């Protein structure tokens, strides 16, 4: 148990470790979708709800665990980074299956969370923080694929604007929270310590403006496959 809770720096991005983790998660996601596809609609909804609550409870448990360990830091351990926040609220989407939630979450998760898979900022390996990081980040992507292929939900071109607007609201709220807490949630005050794509966009506040400029084209790129499939049909 001590090993599972103890922090380490045994994970190195862009190595066979990284490839192995991502490959395992791709297999898990494929198997989950394949299994759910052959179930009744009622069971598909149950599977989706269980999966969504597992994501949410993992983030909540990690926050409680930091309290228990006595090293909780409100400047970095509150579940206010975008991925953690989306994991907490995703049961609302799963339970209601409202299109507006799908429209907003799809682009934010595919644009933001996917980058956390490609350029992870977690150095722990085979302990709780490791499993929490990869289960939550990959789980969000898998859940949106679940909503797409199992719930058969689809975005529209208007979904891009809705997701962009939601992102602006979230960013403004994080600016305010970070101002009062001296924190860096959503990386509005500085870039992550680990190497990420933000390193290509200059220093603060330049990288924020660059992200604002490229995010809509990025969202449109995510929407492109849906548009092409719709056009063909």
- pLDDT in 10s for each residue of the chain, 233 residues: 566 778 898 999 999 999 999 999 999 999 999 999 999 999 999 999 999 999 999 999 999 988 888 778 999 899 999 999 999 999 999 999 999 999 999 999 999 888 889 889 888 999 999 999 999 999 999 999 999 999 999 999 999 999 999 999 999 999 999 999 999 999 888 887 766 677 777 788 888 888 899 999 999 999 999 999 988 87
186: left (phi over 0), alpha (psi -120 to 50) or beta: left
| Confidence (pLDDT) at 2 | 64
Give the pLDDT of residue 132.
96
Torsion of CA 159, 93, 24, 136, to 10 degrees: 100
CB 92 within 8 A of CB 173: no
Q: In this structure, are residues 211 and 186 in contact, taking their beta carbons and an 8 Å threshold?
A: no
Measured from the Cβ of residue 219, the count of other Cβ atoms closer than 10 Å reads 23
Q: Is 119 left (phi over 0), alpha (psi -120 to 50) or beta?
A: beta
> How high is the pLDDT of residue 91?
98
Q: What is the pLDDT of residue 217?
A: 94
What Cα–Cα distance (Å) separates residue 110 from each residue in 51, 93, 218, 231? 18, 16, 10, 22
pLDDT of residue 194: 67
Sign of CA dihedral 195, 52, 1, 70: positive
Q: Output the six-digit token pair for 3.
A: 């090993």
**What pLDDT shows up at residue 3?**
63
d(CA 27, CA 102): 23
């Amino acid at each position: 148990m001590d090993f599972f809770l103890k922090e380490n720096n045994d994970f190195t991005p862009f190595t066979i470790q990284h490839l192995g983790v991502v490959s395992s998660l791709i297999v898990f996601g494929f198997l989950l979708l394949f299994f759910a596809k052959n179930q009744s609609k009622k069971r598909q909804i149950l599977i989706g709800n269980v999966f969504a609550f597992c994501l949410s409870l993992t983030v909540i448990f990690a926050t409680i665990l930091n309290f228990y360990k006595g090293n909780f830091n409100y400047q970095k351990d509150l579940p206010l980074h975008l991925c953690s926040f989306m994991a907490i609220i995703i049961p609302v989407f799963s339970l209601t299956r409202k299109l507006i939630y799908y429209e907003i979450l799809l682009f934010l998760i595919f644009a933001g969370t996917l980058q956390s898979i490609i350029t992870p900022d977690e150095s722990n390996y085979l302990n709780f923080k490791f499993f929490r990081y990869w289960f939550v980040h990959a789980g969000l992507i898998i859940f949106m694929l679940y909503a797409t292929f199992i719930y058969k939900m689809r975005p529209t071109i208007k979904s891009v604007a809705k997701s962009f607007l939601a992102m602006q609201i979230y960013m403004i709220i994080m600016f305010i929270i970070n101002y009062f807490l001296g924190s860096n949630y959503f990386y509005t005050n500085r870039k992550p310590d680990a190497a990420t794509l933000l390193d290509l966009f200059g220093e603060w506040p330049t990288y924020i403006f660059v992200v604002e400029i490229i995010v809509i084209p990025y969202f449109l790129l995510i929407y492109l496959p849906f548009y092409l499939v719709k056009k063909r049909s």
